[in-house]
Structure 1
Amino acid sequence: MPTPTSETAHTDPATTRPDRMPWGALVALAAVGFLLLSAETMPAGLLPSIARDLGTSEALVGQFTGTWALGTVLVTVPAITLTQGLPRKPLLIGALVGLVLANAVTAVSSDVVLSLASRFVGGAFTGVLWGMLAAYGRRISPPERGGLALAVVATGAPVGFAVGTPLGAWVGGVVDWRWSFVGLSALGVLLAVAVVAVVPALRGQARTDRMPLLRVFLLRGVPIVLVVIAVWMLGHNTVYTYVAPFLRDGGSGLAADVVLLVYGVASIGGVVVTALVIDRRPRLLLQASIVGFVVAAVVLVVGHAQPVAVLVAAGVWGLAFGGASPQLQRALSVAGGAQSDLANAFLPVAFNLAIAAAGLVGAALLAVSGGLSLGVLMAALGVVAFVLTVVGRRTFSA
């Protein structure tokens, strides 16, 4: 846990930790998270339109998301490491501008290779932003409300799942898929202006306060938090990515968009619950969330043919997993201490590696044993994540 000295050294003297929550700034940072999630997942709802317009296959267009994730994985940690000493607000704005330009290129490109390159660049800028948001929210908020600040900032991701991606698909269907990406760029410009107006400035780390990358990775608590992230995300994404074949093999007759809508709405509730509890009982909250996740998986498997059971499971799943991001970001920030920016740079890497692995693992399971096995894996990995929180209870209690 950071000492008062290290925390003060890490904060701009002009923006020392206030006594009141900076709600406007936190909402602006949450909106950035909404933009990031929406931009990453936007191609999922537009695959046929993009493929038809670019004269290529849906399978290749499907790599728009994979290429984005690759940019995040390869660039995030080196970028955050090299920019530790830079003032945080200009870096935040600069990364937003880079994301705006990448989405603009995607919107106008008629060449699939250029489009894939723009998605890689967009993923790289996204990784820098994800690596900054959690620490930024904590540093501009009262120390005792750091968990609440993270929960507010994290609302952007589930809202992006529940609203951003479906809205982009609707715009693409009514007008043209390119306008969905134009909308992302326009939103990015508005958010850059909002950040300039309401987000406090923070200085970077002094050279004497910095640690080598490997030492940050090996700080007590950081490795186990990253393993929990990877395991829990793998269990989640394996089913989330292949929810359509899971539902088809289950025989409930439910469409994937209905189940995901229930999940998305419930996940917002999960963030609200997290905001209310995270600063008081962080470990209990995390463990209860994982238990709820396991229960949802079991219900999905046992009640796979019953529409009501599947919808209830989707609601429990969203409620349990919706607050995962702020809960794990809090644990990683506390474990990282004064190095929280760099520690949080590992988070999007772990997330995106789990996303990539989920695609491969899910495809293998579908080929070998069918969709229902995905729910079994979801439950098993949830149990593993729970055991890890027990083993690392000191880290998750701090």
Structure 2
Amino acid sequence: MMGEKQQHLPWAPLLALALSGFICILTETLPAGLLLPMSDSLAISEGRVGQLITVFAIGSVLTAMPLTALTQTWSRKPLLLACIAGFLLFNSITAIATNYTVLLIARFLVGVVAGVLWGIVAIYARRLVPYELKGRAMAVAMMGTPLALALGVPIGTFFGNLVGWRFIFAAISVIAAGLLIWMSLNMPNFEGQPVGQRTTLKQVLLLPGVRSVLFVTFTWMLAHNILYSYIGPYLTLGGLEARVDVMLFIFGVTTIIGLFLVGVLIDRHLRILVLSSLTIFALAALLFGLYTTTPILIGISMGLWGLTFGVAPTLLQTAIADVGQASANVAQSMLVTAWNSGIGIAGIIGALLLNDYGAASFAWVMLVLILGALVVSGAASKAGFSK
């Protein structure tokens, strides 16, 4: 069995974990890109299609922590396989469902599966390698997220509009089936936490550094998604309503660049990377606020913003794994909850800001949030962001 004494990156299992993350993010976000064809096909409003994303997030937020705590003693491989099987099952149901209620139930349940998956993937990656390679292994395992956002969603949207949205969800099921077969044959297994060492959510929350990492995660994702959820109205201010795809492409490319940079540096410079990423994000927010009508500076800001988002998942999951210690799986589930809570609340705050103050207000709220995260991460030098 492949274990923790291995002195090089085990690329095959790490890429399998990355593919599982890719499937997860693609499953979550595709309805946003397929809003119109799904609305037409199901004869429902675009707003009701949008709720398919909302119920996914609700499923993750409500169940990630309790289910991860409940399964912390389980062997890791069977739990991982169960998650992949869940994506296969519920995406298949989504592909064939004609009833809106059935779709909502399937989306809620696949959100539950996603919450459990994110609670184990990062720790699985770290257990595959020795200590000095843990950060790099995390970076590889986490690259499915930016790749799904930068490439998977646009490609899925294009083909969904071309051949039908049901075909795309069916295609995700086929990919999940292939991954399930490969993992069942080749993925190494690790034991869960010993029963005598099982910890409660409260015990994990009180560990030094955990609350700091969770606060930074929540504010980072809140700030990010206020703009990301309503990027169209903001770009309209600069006359870029016909160039949303170009701006998101810039964002996606720099997201991938950020991911590769963090893979090289994270094992030695986690604290510096977190502080510098938040500082660059704050600079991007400032530029977004000052130059709402200047396309070239908006493009530069999109690039800086993407660079910082590309590093966020790996940095934050590495930080929570470090402070979570033996209870890292439970700590990861808390991070998943904080992450998805930030996404959900950002949608509400963004809508209120757009209606009451206009899209130009997004940047200034983002800046305040990021400065708060910067202060907390800077103060967490002994526990949270200490290396």
Q: Could you tell me the TM-score, scaled by structure 2's length? A: 0.97
Task: State the match for 1:64 in structure 2.
Answer: 52
When structure 1 is superposed on structure 2, of 191-200 and 108-117 the one drifting more is: 191-200
Task: State the match for 1:208 in structure 2.
Answer: 196
Structure 2 contact 282–371 (Cα < 8 Å) conserved? yes
Find the aligned partners of 1:319 and 1:14 in 2 and give their Cα distance: 33
Task: State the match for 1:147 in structure 2.
Answer: 135
Change in 2 beyond 3 A, CA 1:254/1:204: same
Task: State the match for 1:375 in structure 2.
Answer: 363
Structure 2 contact 3–129 (Cα < 8 Å) conserved? no
Structure 2 contact 52–104 (Cα < 8 Å) conserved? yes
AA at the equivalent of 1:193: I
AA at the equivalent of 1:87: S
Segments of 5+ residues of structure 1 without an aligned counterpart are 1-12
User: How far has the Cα of 1:252 moved from its partner?
Assistant: 4.3
User: How far has the Cα of 1:238 moved from its partner?
Assistant: 0.3
Task: State the match for 2:93 in structure 1.
Answer: 105
AA at the equivalent of 2:352: A
SS at match of 2:385: helix
Number of equivalenced pairs: 386
Change in 2 beyond 3 A, CA 1:340/1:326: same
Structure 1 contact 20–141 (Cα < 8 Å) conserved? yes
AA at the equivalent of 2:29: T
Matched, 1:270 2:258: yes
Question: What CA deviation, in whole Å up to 9, does each residue of 1:337-367 have, x standing for no partner?
Answer: 0111111011111111111100110011111
AA at the equivalent of 2:73: G
Q: Decide which of 232, 235, 241 is 2:220's aligned counterpart.
A: 232
Q: Decide which of 47, 72, 82 is 2:70's aligned counterpart.
A: 82
Find the aligned partners of 1:254 and 1:296 in 2 and give their Cα distance: 22
Matched, 1:397 2:386: yes
User: How far has the Cα of 1:312 moved from its partner?
Assistant: 1.0
Matched, 1:96 2:71: no
1:310-321 map, 5 Å: 310-321=298-309
Q: Decide which of 349, 363, 366 is 2:337's aligned counterpart.
A: 349
Q: Decide which of 14, 17, 22 is 1:26's aligned counterpart.
A: 14
AA at the equivalent of 2:263: A
RMSD across aligned C-alpha pairs, in angstroms?
1.3
User: How far has the Cα of 1:251 moved from its partner?
Assistant: 3.5
AA at the equivalent of 1:365: L
Question: What CA deviation, in whole Å up to 9, does each residue of 1:293-318 have, x standing for no partner?
Answer: 11111112222212111111111111
User: How far has the Cα of 1:41 moved from its partner?
Assistant: 0.2
Task: State the match for 1:259 in structure 2.
Answer: 247
User: How far has the Cα of 1:79 moved from its partner?
Assistant: 1.1
Q: Percentage identity across aligned positions?
A: 37
Change in 2 beyond 3 A, CA 1:254/1:54: closer
Find the aligned partners of 1:255 and 1:359 in 2 and give their Cα distance: 22
User: How far has the Cα of 1:151 moved from its partner?
Assistant: 0.9
Q: Could you tell me the TM-score, scaled by structure 1's length? A: 0.95
Find the aligned partners of 1:129 and 1:253 in 2 and give their Cα distance: 36
Matched, 1:221 2:209: yes
Segments of 5+ residues of structure 2 without an aligned counterpart are none
Find the aligned partners of 1:151 and 1:138 in 2 and give their Cα distance: 10
SS at match of 1:397: coil
Find the aligned partners of 2:251 and 2:186 in 1 and give their Cα distance: 32
User: How far has the Cα of 1:253 moved from its partner?
Assistant: 5.0
Q: Decide which of 33, 36, 39 is 2:24's aligned counterpart.
A: 36
Matched, 1:53 2:61: no
Find the aligned partners of 2:225 and 2:5 in 1 and give their Cα distance: 36
Find the aligned partners of 1:198 and 1:314 in 2 and give their Cα distance: 40
User: How far has the Cα of 1:95 moved from its partner?
Assistant: 1.0
Question: What CA deviation, in whole Å up to 9, does each residue of 1:216-255 have, x standing for no partner?
Answer: 1111111110000000110000000000011113434553
